[in-house]
Amino acid sequence: MAWTAEIFDSSTNTTYDITNRIIEISGEDQLGAESNRFSVSCKGIDIFHKLHIMTVRKNGVKRYSGFIINQTDSDKGYKHTEFECVDWTHIFNNRILAEVYNSTDQFLGRPDLIIKDIISKKAPELTTNNIRQVNYSIETIQFPYDKLMDAMSKVMDFLPTWYWYVDPDKDVHLFNYFESEGVTFSRKADGRFNFLQNSLSVKYIGEAQANRIWIIGAKRASGSYIDVFYTANGVQRYFGPLPYEPNYTEIYLNDLLMESKLEQNDDQQQDFLINKAQRIIQIPPNITTPWNGTIKVRFRPTIQVIDYFENAPSVKQNGLFEKAIKSKDITDRMSARQFGKAEIKRKSTDRRIITLSTYEDVKVGQKCNVDILVNDPIKGDWDVRGSFLVSSVRTSVTTTESFTQELRQVEMEEIVG
C-alpha cells in the first residue's frame, strides 16, 4: 500500500511495522504552529507504545513523524487502538534560551543566522538545511530565558512575509511568501472543479485591522549623564521633582560627593535619600540640620522608546484604526522602527482566506493558484482568483483491503506583495 507506518522503541532499539494494521491516519500541518499533531488508528496492537516514535510514510517519503503521547485501546468488536502523536515542533516548547543578538555581532542581526545559531545550541537534533537567507538585519533582539517557541515568534515578528515549519525529517524550513509551487484549483475539462462540491469558503479579512501602530518599548537608563542643581538653604529637606526618573545617581554638595541610597534601602547613615518613582531627593532625619549650599544631582535619565507607524492610504480610505504594542524586548529606536514597519504591513493589508476540501496532494508552504469563476443563478456568483499560500492542511486517510482514500481540508491565505 502507498501508506506505511512503523513504531520505533529506542529503549530496546526495536522497530514495529504496523502497516497491515492501519485503519485510519489523520494529521494536521500548520505553518509556525505551537505543535502539529497526528493520529494513527489500528487493529490488533498488543504492546504499549507511549513515548515511542511513530513514523508514517507515503510511497516511501515521510509524511508524519514524532512521539506517541497517548495510546487508547477500545473494544469495537475487535481491539481498536488509537495513537495520538506530536510532531518535532514540540521541541521548541521544551527548551529555554538566554541570548542577546545584535547587528554588530558575528551574526550581523540576520534572522536566518540567528535561528541557525539558536537551533545548533538548543535543539541540535534538528537540521537547518531549508532555512533560506534573509537579507535583513535586526538591530537588537533579546531572549531572557524564553521558550524556543517564543524566541521563534519574536524573530518572526520582524518578518511579516516569512514563514517556518519543521518537516518529518526534523529539518527546519524558513521561506519568504511561499516555498514551492502547488496545484491550481480551477475547473477541469469535465466541467468540475478539483475540490469537493459545497466545501469552498472565502473569508475576507483585515487581520485585526489596524492602520496606525504605536510601539511602546522598554524603559532603560540613558547612556549619558545629566546634572540638575538645587540650592539648599539649611531648612528645606525635599528637592525635585527631577525631570526624569533617575538611574546611577550621584549627589554632590558644594562639589563634594555625598553618601546616598534609594529610600527603601535607608540605613540611617545616608546624607541623601532618593525616591526614584517620585523623582524626589531628600535630606533624611538622621541629618539633624539640613544642608546649606549647592546640590548637584548627577544621574542617567530613564528613557523609553515610543514611536508610531501608519498606512496613510488606509487611514484616508477606511478611517483611523489604532493599536498599541508594548514590548520590553524593544530597547532602541531602530528595533522599534523595524518592528513597527513589519506590524503595519501585517495589520493594514486586506486579504482573503480560502478553505476547501480536496483529494489533491497539497502541502503547507506551497503556492496554489486559484481560478474560480462561477456565474450561476441558483448557487450565486463566485470570483476567486489569485495566488494563495497553503498555511494549513488537515489530512484524513482511510484504508480498507480494497482501497485507500485521502481527503484534505486545506486553508490558504492570499499572497499579497
Instruction: Report the CATH number at residue 68.
Output: 2.30.300.10
- Any domain includes 412: no
Read off the amino acid at residue 408. R
- Any domain includes 408: no
**Residue 335 and residue 216 share a domain:** yes
**Residue 303 and residue 372 share a domain:** no
Task: Please classify residue 36 by burial: count the beta carbons closer than 10 Å to its beta carbon, then call 0-12 exposed, 13-18 middle and 19+ buried.
Answer: buried
**Residue 307 and residue 241 share a domain:** yes
Percent of the chain with pLDDT over 90: 66
Q: Domain count for the chain, please give it.
A: 4
Q: Express the helix, strand and coil content of the chain in percent, nearest 5 each.
A: 15, 50, 35
Domain boundary residue among 24, 53, 88? 88
**Residue 281 and residue 354 share a domain:** no
Cell numbers for 202, please give them: 472565502
- Any domain includes 401: no
Domain boundary residue among 44, 59, 88? 88
Structural domain boundaries enclosing 306: 207-349
pLDDT at 206: 58
- Any domain includes 398: no
**Residue 47 and residue 159 share a domain:** no
**Residue 345 and residue 238 share a domain:** yes
How many distinct helices (H) and strands (E) make up the chain?
4, 28
- Any domain includes 70: yes
Task: Please classify residue 176 by burial: count the beta carbons closer than 10 Å to its beta carbon, then call 0-12 exposed, 13-18 middle and 19+ buried.
Answer: middle
**Residue 337 and residue 211 share a domain:** yes
**Residue 114 and residue 13 share a domain:** no
Cα 304 vs. chain centroid, distance in angstroms? 24
What tens-digit pLDDT sequence spans the chain (417 residues)?
589 999 999 889 999 999 999 999 999 999 987 789 999 999 989 889 988 999 999 999 999 999 999 999 999 999 999 999 999 999 999 999 999 998 889 999 999 999 999 999 999 999 999 999 998 888 888 898 999 999 999 999 888 889 999 999 999 999 999 999 999 999 887 888 999 988 999 988 755 577 788 888 878 888 899 999 999 999 999 999 999 999 999 999 999 999 999 999 999 999 999 999 999 999 999 999 999 999 999 999 998 888 877 878 777 877 787 777 777 767 777 777 777 777 776 666 678 899 999 999 999 999 999 998 887 777 778 889 999 999 999 999 998 776 788 999 999 999 876
Q: Please write the tens of the pLDDT for every residue from 165-174.
A: 999 999 999 9
- Any domain includes 278: yes
**Residue 344 and residue 243 share a domain:** yes
Task: Please classify residue 76 by burial: count the beta carbons closer than 10 Å to its beta carbon, then call 0-12 exposed, 13-18 middle and 19+ buried.
Answer: exposed
Domain boundary residue among 349, 381, 402? 349
- Any domain includes 332: yes
Q: Please write the tens of the pLDDT for every residue from 67-77.
A: 999 999 999 99
pLDDT at 285: 94
**Residue 322 and residue 378 share a domain:** no
pLDDT at 208: 55
Cβ contacts of residue 308 below 8 Å, gap of 6+?
Answer: 212, 213, 214, 215, 340
- Any domain includes 200: yes
Query: Residue 405, Cβ neighbours under 10 Å: how many?
Result: 11
